[in-house]
A and B are shown apart, each in its own frame.
Chain A
Amino acid sequence: MAFKDNRDFIEALSKTGDVVPIKQEIDWDLEVGAIVRKANERREAAPFFEKIKDYPDGFRIFGSPLATERRLAVSMGLSPDSTGLLRNIQEEYERRVRSRIKPVVVSKASCKENVLVGDDVDLFLFPAPMIHEGDGGRYLGSWHMVITRDLDSDWVNWGMYRLMVYNRRILTSICESYSHLHAIKAKYEYQKKPMPVAIAIGADPISSFAAATQLGIGRSEADFASALRQEPVELIKCETNDLFVPAHAEIVLEGELVQGTKIAEGPFGEYTGYRSNPRERQIAYKINAITYRNNPIVTMSCMGMPVDDSAIVVGLTTQSAIKRHLQRHGVPVTNVYVPPETGSYLVIVGVKPNYCNTASVIANTIFSTSRATFKVIIVDADVDVFDLNQVLHAFATKCHPVRGIRVSDREASTQLTPYLSADEKKWRKGASVAFDCTWPFEWSKESEVPVRISFEEAYPEEVKQKVTQNWTTYGFRRS
């Protein structure tokens, strides 16, 4: 059964040992961020801060809800202790998202326990953390969802775009030109109409997961979340606009896009592991109403050197999306892996080539749609894409330094990409590279393809069996 809300999820994590309740008073100003960061880097349990400096009892912060595969497994109702956890999660994820389940609308919900409107709105009411030293402000939105509706259709988009508290009523945010938010916003701006927005903080874990993914234009993340939960998400209407939000979110902010100007935002330490784009004037929202649960819990992610929530969630969804995309294009793909350590910038594709230059086809297919993955390693089917040692070996021994590397310097990119120059970031000018670590299809299997030498491949079955059976009798300790 899916978790109704964030609180049920925290309780489940406490049973599996994947949350650490911290009862001593912690400072929202950097101390919270430092604890979450260290926990992420050590792959520890999620910190749950129960007493925050300057804030009343009951106002809490939950750090990095999905920053480990274990917590992601728990969020999906899977055992975090199973072997092959990552494969299990991926298989279950791919099975569930094929189903179609619609959200349902409810008339009463816990997110309405407190309502503030107009001049009573004060974003500093909540303990938004100053996450990293040098950030441009306190980020109330680092693990949340921004909800907007397309002007020409019923499409409602959930996205996770960072949100900085500028003052009591204004949040500033970034809006990449390839994002769905940008596509929706452009229509409102073109027609000079105010764009309503709702922001939900601390929704159930799968709804937040859904907001962090990028589905196709027109696809509903609420439907996607319902499918992944295997139960409908409960939604409730906002107080001051016609948008619907997850009914059991901890905090809901209702407002609209500030029109005609941009306001200072950032810098901010990001999922790439760097603070790489400067303070700039970016889009902003004016908040007109706040609703929240009693004793609200702010959810946050402490982005930085991977692995954190974004790396886990975006890695899983990106690899599944790329696998599906390649299969639809007839590529004989065996599996796809986006290592969370790479911040989704690198994808490894396993393939069983059945024509020449399969690697080029893969690269073209991925780079024609992705705006966040710029490096691809293509390996033969006998390399386990999830085993980075095998991948590294294939890269070192099979990728020709000239004809094995395919570079394109005319890709669209993001302003957050660390290795781009200031000018490239400004204009979102990127590049991509593919490393072909497969044997050329035209090489003769009998006379040209090198023979891999390993225990499994270099000996007859009877010899392997004999050696394995007698292993400990030779004097080795482990069978």
Chain B
Amino acid sequence: MRKEYDTFVDKLSDLVEKGEVELTIRDLTLGQHKYESRYVRAILSSSIDQLPGGDVLWIRFTMGFLHPKPWAIKITAELGEYQP
């Protein structure tokens, strides 16, 4: 079962598909801790199919709008509570 996260961006081009990126994500797992934030290193893809083993990453723009098509994310490292 894929987990689901989301992240906030100014624009879609801020997301990089080649190599690893560092970003703040919110965990969308249902329950008391839904929406808890983490700062991680991850590989992203605009297509779930192109990132085997990846989880779902929803994209929100910084004013809160939800991008209709989810991306994929594979977390490679936990970098602490927040972006330094």
A interface list, Cβ under 8 A from B: 29, 54-55, 124-125, 130, 133-138, 165-170, 261, 263-264, 267, 275, 278-281, 284
- Which single residue of chain B is at the shortest CB-CB distance from A267? B64
Report the separation of the CA atoms of residues A227 and B66 in the bound assembly, to the nearest whole angstrom. 47
What are the residues of chain A within 8 A of B30 when measuring CB–CB?
Answer: 54
Task: Report chain A residues within 8 Å CB of B83.
Answer: 261, 263-264, 281
- Residue in A54, A168, A279 whose beta carbon sits within 8 Å of that of B8 in the complex: A279
Are A124 and B64 in contact (CB-based, < 8 A)? no
Q: Do A275 and B64 contact each other (CB < 8 Å), given the known contacts A136-B8, A170-B81, A170-B82?
A: yes
Inside 8 A of A275's CB, which chain B residues have their CB? Answer: 63-64
- Chain A contacts for B41, CB-based, 8 A: none
Tally of contact residues, B, Cβ under 8 A: 23
Interface stretch (choices B13-21, B31-39, B45-53, B71-79): B31-39
**Residues in chain B near residue A54, CB distance under 8 A:** 30-32
Task: With CB as the reference atom, state the residue of chain B lying closest to A280.
Answer: B62
**Chain A: interface secondary structure?**
loop
Within the complex, which residue of B32, B35, B38, B66 is in contact with A137, where a contact is CB–CB below 8 Å?
Answer: B35
Return A126 CB to nearest CB of chain B, in Å.
9
Could you name 14 residue pairs across A and B whose Cβ atoms are closer than 8 Å? Answer: A55-B32, A133-B64, A134-B64, A135-B64, A137-B26, A137-B35, A168-B33, A168-B36, A263-B83, A264-B83, A275-B64, A278-B10, A278-B62, A284-B82
- Report the Cα distance A168→B32, complex, angstroms: 11
Q: How far is the CB of A120 from chain B (nearest CB, A)?
A: 15
Give the nearest-CB partner of A168 in chain B. Answer: B36
Measured CB to CB, the nearest residue on chain A to B27 is A167
Smallest Cβ distance from B40 to chain A, in angstroms? 13
Q: Which residue of A lies closest to B33 (CB)?
A: A124
Known: A261-B82, A264-B82. Is A136-B64 also a contact (CB below 8 A)?
Answer: yes
